[in-house]
Each structure stands twice: as structure tokens, then as C-alpha cells.
Amino acid sequence: MHIRPENPLIVQGDGKVLLEARHRRYEEARDFLGRFAELETSPELLHTYRINPLSLWNAASAGMGVTEITEGLKAFSKFDVPQEVLQTIADTIERYGMVRMVAHPTEPDRLLRLEFGSGYVAKLVTNEKSLRELLVEDGRRYWAVSQGHRGIFKQRALQAGWPVQDVAGFRPGEHLETTLRPHTRLSDRPFQPRPYQQEAARRWWDEGSPLGGCGVVVLACGAGKTIVAMTAMSLVQTKTLILATNQAAVAQWHRELLDKTSLTEDQVGMYTGDLKEIKPVTVATYQILTWRRTKTAEFEHLHLFEDQDWGLVIYDEVHLLPAPVFGATATLQGRRRLGLTATLVREDGREGDVFALVGPKRYDLPWQMLQAQGFIADTRCYELRVPFATAAVRSYELAGEAEKFRIASENPAKMRVIDELLRKHADDNVLIIGTYVEQLIEISKRFRAPLITGKTPHDERERLFEGFRKGRIKLLVVSKVANFSIDLPDANIAIQVSGSFGSRQEEAQRLGRILRPKDKPAIFYTVVTADTKEQDFALKRQLFLTEQGYRYHIEDRKAV
């Protein structure tokens, strides 16, 4: 056995990889692991990654090969990398592309032909029970699937361990001339996508490649994913359907498209609970698409997917795709698809569906690299641990496991810490973000700050957001509605008072509210109740940001 104590990694036989967080080569090793492994735990000294099939297939789709991964592990490892791990990596990576879906040579409107890497692979795949029922015999030598089963076959094949390389091509959609403006329409300022935004769109488009035009772009909040999408639209030149998280996000997309592209008012429509416009470029909410009158009724607005000859569907915050939209997406495999997200982490574990139905990860730029180049703010993260208020201790001890988290989250002792932070940051632009509305109402009253929740009318939300953008409002209290796609470029302080259990994606999105570069320092505070369920979940929430290179400074605060 070769021992290299100067290296930062230990690779275990079960696929776990341990990384010393204080090693001089930590950042180099972290960036390498992040391309093909998933961070599982991140205590102060030793971080644990897991090499899994989906992370390896995403790496393969991005062009990362067996040699690059295995040689890199060997170069970073303290000990010899277990042979079984090297073999698993090789076997898993090599499965990507062993099943290919191609255009059918004689019946392209009805069927898609399958090609296999070998006769043995063909036998394994065609004998898989969940796949067999979707297969059609295609002459003596081939197998095919119907056009309508394109998506569900890819879903099931991925679950069976056979990621399908779909090179069957796309419908072009109805042509729509779309160009980027050299100057913004609203302020007449020079406009040009940043180099990484152009590169992200170029990699997604990959003109000339049968794989081009579907997949996911991963960029930090505030890094301009909307501009990547508009650049992609200028490459495709087709009618486009855009799906966003809420009405505020729809309005923001509408504003950005008119400001930075050649599209006009009569070409860009909004499809929400309040407004139902279908135009050559239509921006809709996930909520309206999944709305139905009763739990057993039909989804009344999924027809939007078929109302126009869309050549491109853009999924904003693709990690939030609801199950009914996954179902509709399975039928949209003949159209180009672009997913945008800051993190591919899904708390329901359906990352595989994003891979199979929207496409693999095409571009992923580490947050710290964007920060080093000045494209997102240099941000400090603090976890402030507060003891229980005396009156709340007994309630917590007597509560059931599920209720303990909420009691800890709503700990009244947090109010004094918030008061302290607001006095410290009196000249800053501060967002207080939480999950529990009753807690936020109390904060709003106590600190005389406007509050935005899911019940706040859309016009009132926009008025308050605009007041914050213009500097008329310096402190804003927001619920989960502000987690996504809200443009508040001057916000530089975020105080998180409660969260959704161990949601890593929520932690990333909330940090994203303050990532726009600005003159003032950006600081993200999380206030948690010490030695409780809330503190345990806080460690899980921080995983994704730790993988991106952020470190949380822990401070214990006394309730007085």
C-alpha cells in the first residue's frame, strides 16, 4: 500500500470520500469532487462525499471520463483507492451511452429506434420488466418505443440503471426572431451577456450535436440565469414557453425580456392566476399549471403545453418542478428544454427525473469562482445559536418530535438577537426571512417593518419590493414567497429566523437574495435555538453551501 500523508482525501470501499476541511489543498480537492460526487456531511474538520450513479452520469454527460476521475482520486488520496471503487466508477460511467435513442429511419413520426452498445446490453435492457412493456419489435434486428413513450422510457431506464442517451432530435417549433439588444430598453445602458453566461448557453445549445438543446444550467443566485435563457432563445429562434415559480417571478421575466431582447409587448404574454395571455413567448407559473378544482379533478391548464408550437420550454428553478409538470414534461420530449437552477438538490429525491426528462447538467460554475471574479458578492455566513427562553423550555421537552422543530424555530429569545442585528445594521438593506407566518407577523409588528407573505396581494408585493429597490424601505420581512426569483439587488443583509427543516435548496436560495455585487458587505445570518432539533436541521441545510465553499461562523448568543 502506498501512503501519502500530505494528501487531503481518504476513499473508502463503500464509495464514501472523506476530505480534510483544513488541508492546504482543500479547495482544489473540493472543486474536483463536486464534479462527480455529492456532499453528505460537512462538520468542521472532515467533509464526507458520496460517489453515486447519478452524479457520475451527470459527469459523463458533461464530458468527464473514467480516466480523469480515477486518476484524480489517486492523485488526491492518502491511500490507495480501493479497487472496487475504481471498478464501480468505470462500470457506471461506461453505462452512459450504452442505450441510445435515435430517430427512426422509416417511421419517424411514430417510433424511435433504440441502439445498444452490445448484444449483451440489448438482452439485459429488453428483459427488464418495467421497460419490456414499452418496447416495440422493429423488424428482426431492432427494438423501438413509440414517440409518446419517449419520456417515460427514459425515466424507467434510468431507474433500472441504464441512462439513455437521447439523440433523436427535436421539433424546431414555430420560428420567432429573437435577438439580444445592445442597449437595455428601459435605461439605455450597454448590455452584453457575461462570458460565462455566453459559455453556458453555448454548451447547452452545442450546435451540430444531436445532444444539443436539452439539459440544465447550474449557476448561483444573482449570477444571471435569466440572461443565459435569453441568450439560448437567441440561438434557437423559436416560440418559447417559460415556467416560473410565482407571479412576481413571471412579472420579472416579462420585464427582463422586454428590456434586453428585441421582443415586443405583443409577443410576450403572462399566464397566471390573474392573467391568461398566450403569446409567442409565454411566461407561466407552476402553480397555475398544477391548479385543479378538486384533488381528483383534471389539471385544467396543462393544455398550455400544447396550445402553441413551442420549440423551447424553459424551466426556471428546475429543482422545484412539481410532479404533474414532470408528467407533462414526459410528453414534451420532442421539444428543446432548458432547466435553470442554483442547485440540483431536490428534497424529494427526484433529481433522476430532472436528468431523464429535462436533460443532464450541461454547465455548472462554482459559486466561489463567480465570487472571486466579482460577479456575485463576497458573503460571510454566521450561525447564531440562542438558548431557549425560559418559558419555552418545558413546552419543547413535552412536545412530540414533529412539533419540537417548530417550537425551537419560534423561540421568543430570537427577538433580542434580531434587535441587536438591526441596530448593528441600521444603515444596511435588510431582509428578515422565515417560514412561520405567526412568527413573522410578530417580528413585523415589533420592528415596524412591512411584511410580505403568500396572502399579500400581488400589487402590494410589487409596491413593497419596488420600495425596497428604490431605498424607500430599508427593512423588509418576507416569508417563503421570497425564496425564489425575486430581484432585490441592493439587499446586503439577510437574517433567517426559521427554515423548512433540512432543506439545502432553501438555504441556497435565501443566501441568493443578497448575492448581487454591491458596495456594502453581504452577510447571511441564521438564528437557531441551541441544542435542539432546529440546530440539527441547520447542519443539513448548510450542506450545499459548504460544498460551494462557504463556511459558517458559529456564535453562541445569550438570551437576556
| pLDDT tens-digit map of 352-384 | 999 999 999 888 887 778 888 889 888 899 999
Which of 27-31, 348-352, 504-508, 538-542 shows the highest mean pLDDT? 27-31
C-alpha to C-alpha distances, 390 to 395, 397, 400, 560, nearest whole angstrom: 10, 12, 19, 10
pLDDT at res. 309: 94
CA–CA separation, 209 vs 311, rounded Å?
A: 17
Is residue 315 over pLDDT 80? Answer: yes
| pLDDT tens-digit map of 497-520 | 998 876 777 888 888 888 888 888
| pLDDT tens-digit map of 240-253 | 999 998 888 899 99
H helix or E strand, kind and range, residue 391: helix 390-398
Which of 180-184, 219-223, 551-555 shows the highest mean pLDDT? 180-184
pLDDT at res. 484: 65
Share of the chain above pLDDT 90, in %: 60
The pLDDT of 427-446, averaged and rounded, is: 95
pLDDT at res. 560: 43
- What residues form DSSP beta bridges with 46? 20
Domains of the chain: 9-95 (no CATH), 99-166 (no CATH), 195-365 (3.40.50.300), 372-556 (3.40.50.300)
CA–CA separation, 84 vs 86, rounded Å?
A: 5
Contacts (Cβ under 8 Å, ≥6 apart) of 15: 50, 51, 52, 85, 88
The pLDDT of 104-129, averaged and rounded, is: 94
Phi-psi region of 348 (alpha: psi -120 to 50; beta: other; left: phi over 0): alpha
Weakest-pLDDT range from 68-72, 292-296, 341-345, 502-506: 502-506
Greater model confidence, 325 or 495: 495
Contact between 103 and 113 (Cβ < 8 Å): yes
| pLDDT tens-digit map of 143-169 | 999 999 999 999 999 999 999 999 999
Strands (E), 407-482: 430-433, 451-452, 475-478
Is residue 202 over pLDDT 80? Answer: yes
Is residue 218 over pLDDT 80? Answer: yes
Which of 36-45, 361-370, 491-500, 549-558 shows the highest mean pLDDT? 491-500
Closest CA to 167 of 210, 205, 208: 210
Is residue 424 over pLDDT 90? Answer: yes
Q: How confident is the model at residue 326 (pLDDT cuts 50, 70, 90)?
A: confident
Locate 87 and state its grid cell. Answer: 471498478
The pLDDT of 382-404, averaged and rounded, is: 86
Contacts (Cβ under 8 Å, ≥6 apart) of 22: 45
Listed as own residue / partner, the contacts of 263-271 with beta carbons closer than 8 Å and 24 or more positions apart are 263/178, 267/176, 271/301, 271/304
| pLDDT tens-digit map of 271-283 | 998 899 999 999 9
Is residue 78 over pLDDT 50? Answer: yes
CA–CA separation, 374 vs 379, rounded Å?
A: 11
Q: How confident is the model at residue 258 (pLDDT cuts 50, 70, 90)?
A: very high
The pLDDT of 330-344, averaged and rounded, is: 89
Mean pLDDT over the full length of the chain: 90
Which of 78-82, 387-391, 544-548 shows the highest mean pLDDT? 78-82
Q: How confident is the model at residue 486 (pLDDT cuts 50, 70, 90)?
A: low
Closest CA to 397 of 519, 529, 553, 528: 529
pLDDT at res. 3: 85
CA–CA separation, 67 vs 94, rounded Å?
A: 11
List, as one string, the DSSP characters of 502-556: T-HHHHHHHHHTT-S--SSPEEEEEEEETTSHHHHHHHHHTHHHHHTT--EEEEE
Is residue 485 over pLDDT 60? Answer: no
Contact between 340 and 318 (Cβ < 8 Å): yes
The pLDDT of 391-405, averaged and rounded, is: 84
CA–CA separation, 405 vs 386, rounded Å?
A: 14
Share of the chain above pLDDT 70, in %: 97
